[in-house]
Amino acid sequence: MRHRLRIGFEKVDRIWAEVNNVLADTIPGIRVVKAFAQEKREAARFHAANQRNLHVNDRVNRVWSLFTPTVTLLTEVGLLVVWICGIWQISHDEITVGVLTAFLAYIGRFYIRLDSMSRIVSITQKAAAGTKRIFDILDHVSSVPESPDPVHLSAAQGRIELRNVSFRYGTRSIVRDINLTIQPGEMIGLVGHSGSGKSTLVNLICRFYDVTEGVMLIDGHDIRTLSIAGYRKHIGLVLQEPFLFFGTISENIAYGKPGATREEIVSAARAAHAHEFILRLPHGYDSLVGERGQALSGGERQRISIARALLIDPRILILDEATSSVDTTTEKDIQKALDNLVRGRTTIAIAHRLSTLREADHLIVLDRGMIVEIGNHAELMAQQGYYYRLWLAQARNVDTEDKTMVPIEAHNSRGSV
């Protein structure tokens, strides 16, 4: 029985590690999971790992449920034998009461058992509290509920319209009275200091949150009436810190399109300028990227992220500081990949370095959650307003760096904002 328990606990540890690996991938990468509409896939991964965990634990618990009562029974039987034998021997004058008293010292073992039982009760109560918390999370209603009769966008155009949009987190107002129209194929740059509302605006467009006031329209449809998973399949997301899941390069590129062929994966990698460095790896496209992609450099991870977005061919593209965490040389390679990615798509870009947004069709300047200026680079510089001051402040600090930058090109005609 002891051997079976040891083997069982080894399996429990191994399976529990698998569950933690799934969570370590999914929770930090939740924005990527949502952006590629892979919630069901990740839920299925966790469910499969958790079912294995439950099965192994159930087997161990069955063995343990026999082991503990057996030990307890033997202990209590021993105590009972002491009492019976002691009384019988006293009645036959074979031992004294003092001797029996000595034997009764073994009664302490009984209290040890009681102590063990009290610990078991304590552990059970903790488990019950933990279970309640788990069910509270599982029963939590999403802040972005699915429409009862959702509209499915089979072929999105990429027109985005915000009408008097405001968003509050609790009592704090994050964005206020945003009115904005982005035409299909336009490239829009979001500009402003940290905390001005740029990332919140992107999160609203991705529908990670719902607007508090106003309405957001996608191709004329209220975003709240659209199928969440169906809508997000039309969105490509490239983040400042590219998140890769544990697995192969091929699996990461095909994350948003699990059934992609090798030819499609290679084609996306070529367009993202990733094919060459992938071939130099020991196992090519089947090389493992390590936990969160640590086996690759920052620039390599970013190009894999771009290839992942290219593969799903999104109509709406979000670039959130896509080149801010790499050096200038690597940035040039990533900019070439981004040129292929933004072509013909509605693109919303956030960039700390304003020079990377010079060729955007329109720049939306935000301050304290409100739009303070709209225009292209030349128009805003001519106004000598908020954007002009931001540009001059950056130019003074990073003048040398700006000279080496390659801007993201807008490959489409300008539309109205």
Q: What is the pLDDT of residues 147-199, one digit of tens each?
A: 888 888 888 888 999 999 999 988 889 999 999 999 999 999 999 888 888 98
Residue 58: both structure tokens together: 């159930």
Q: What's the average model confidence in pLDDT over 234-254? A: 86
pLDDT digits over 283-320, tens only?
A: 999 998 887 777 888 888 888 988 998 898 888 988 88
- Percent of the chain predicted with pLDDT > 70: 78
Residue with the bigger pLDDT between 19 and 115: it is 19
Query: What is each CA distance from 221 to 42, 153, 218, 271, in whole angstroms?
Result: 28, 9, 5, 32
Spatial contact of 378 and 325, defined as CB atoms under 8 Å apart: no
- pLDDT at residue 286 in the model: 93
Of these ranges, 29-43, 328-342, 357-371, the one predicted with the greatest mean pLDDT is 357-371
Integer Cα distance of 153 and 207 in angstroms: 15
CA 222 to chain centre: 26
Spatial contact of 296 and 244, defined as CB atoms under 8 Å apart: yes
- Least confident span in 147-156, 203-212, 290-299, 343-352: 290-299
- pLDDT at residue 278 in the model: 92
Q: What's the average model confidence in pLDDT over 59-87? A: 73
- pLDDT at residue 55 in the model: 84
What phi and psi, each to the nearest 5 degrees, are found at residue 374? -140, 135
pLDDT at 405 over 60: no
For residue 316, give the 3-state DSSP assignment. Answer: strand
- Least confident span in 75-89, 123-137, 241-255, 287-301: 123-137
- Least confident span in 210-214, 226-230, 356-360: 356-360
Sign of CA dihedral 214, 218, 223, 225: positive
Indicate the length of the chain as a whole number: 417
pLDDT at 330 over 90: no
**Dihedral angle, C-alpha 175, 321, 230, 182, nearest 10 °:** 60
- pLDDT at residue 326 in the model: 58
Q: Tokens 């991870």 label which residue?
A: 301
Please state, rounded to an integer, the average pLDDT across all residues of the chain.
79
- pLDDT at residue 358 in the model: 83
Residue with the bigger pLDDT between 332 and 187: it is 187
- Percent of the chain predicted with pLDDT > 90: 23
The verdict on pTM exceeding 0.85 is no
With CA atoms as reference, report the closest residue to 407 among 180, 187, 79.
187
Residue with the bigger pLDDT between 203 and 356: it is 203
| Diameter over CA atoms, the chain | 116
Q: What's the average model confidence in pLDDT over 14-23? A: 76
Integer Cα distance of 299 and 293 in angstroms: 11
Count of Cβ atoms closer than 10 Å to residue 36 Cβ: 26
Q: What's the average model confidence in pLDDT over 111-128? A: 56
- Least confident span in 92-106, 268-282, 310-324: 92-106
pLDDT at 128 over 50: yes
Which of the four pLDDT bands, split at 50, 70 and 90, describes residue 67? low
Residues 6+ apart with CB under 8 A from 203: 209
Q: What's the average model confidence in pLDDT over 23-43? A: 78
Which of the four pLDDT bands, split at 50, 70 and 90, describes residue 52? confident
Sign of CA dihedral 379, 383, 384, 387: negative
**How, if at all, do strands 362-367 and 370-375 pair?**
antiparallel
Burial environment of residue 393 by CB neighbours within 10 A (0 to 12, 13 to 18, 19 or more): exposed
Which of the four pLDDT bands, split at 50, 70 and 90, describes residue 263? very high
pLDDT at 69 over 80: no
- Least confident span in 53-57, 263-267, 336-340: 336-340
With CA atoms as reference, report the closest residue to 208 among 354, 332, 365, 35.
35
